[in-house]
Amino acid sequence: MINLVLTAAFGYLSGSIATSVWVSKLFFKKDLRDYGSRNAGATNAYRVLGWKAALFVVLVDIGKGVVPTLFAARLFPIEGVNAIYLQLLAGVTAILGHCYTCFAGFRGGKGVGTAAGVLAVLYPIALPVCVVTFILTLAITRIVSLSSILAAMTLPVTQVVLIFGFGHSISWPLLWLGMALVPFILYTHRTNIARMINGTESRIGTKKNVEET
């Protein structure tokens, strides 16, 4: 039981590293969450802090998913429990930590980058399809939120196609994770969805007032 708790704690605390908030406060003397969309994700970091800071945030966010998912089962093994379940626990709690970080008032990002890191470890064969979906959607629409949502939706579709179309073996919990990520990403992007419906969602490459609101 203690290793189960440690696995969850390792995942959550790793995901909770408040990269964008700490970078904005340390190097820019401002709280990113007081500007732009008020979100602590990489997209708002790009608009408020610039592409260099945003790139750093993206890489760390991905790493926050990779590290606990990759190492939790090795650090805290449980006899008789398949490692995939410990990896899933570490990955899911890392995503939750990113979205609800205990280091920044439980106001974090939207989980996409960290989820990509988890996917890179658990099911890397599906990751390129999700990345291509994201890039193509972004190139066409220039809307990061829509690109993220469609990339998340692509994951379970890709998994099903690989399983039933190509006979690719997969642990069923991974398919459940892929399906569960869709409503979760929709939930974390609920304000973006409302803005897209209203036609007010920001697009990359357009000038936008990011002053404190």
For residue 206, is pLDDT > 80? no
Tell me what pLDDT residue 94 has. Answer: 97
pLDDT tens digits, 190-200:
999 999 999 99
Half-sphere exposure of 49 (CA within 13 A, CB side): 31
CA distance 58 to 19: 9
Residue-level length of the chain: 213
Tell me what pLDDT residue 209 has. Answer: 46
For residue 211, is pLDDT > 60? no
Query: Which of these, 159, 105, 165, 174, lies nearest to 129 by C-alpha position?
Result: 159
State pTM to two decimals: 0.91
Cα dist. 62→19, 99, 112 in Å?
11, 13, 9
Query: Which of these, 79, 86, 68, lies nearest to 11 by C-alpha position?
Result: 68
Q: Kindly list the domain boundaries of the chain, sorted by start residue.
A: 1-121, 123-205
Tokens of 141: 């629409």
pLDDT tens digits, 20-65:
999 999 999 999 999 988 888 888 999 899 999 999 999 999 999 9
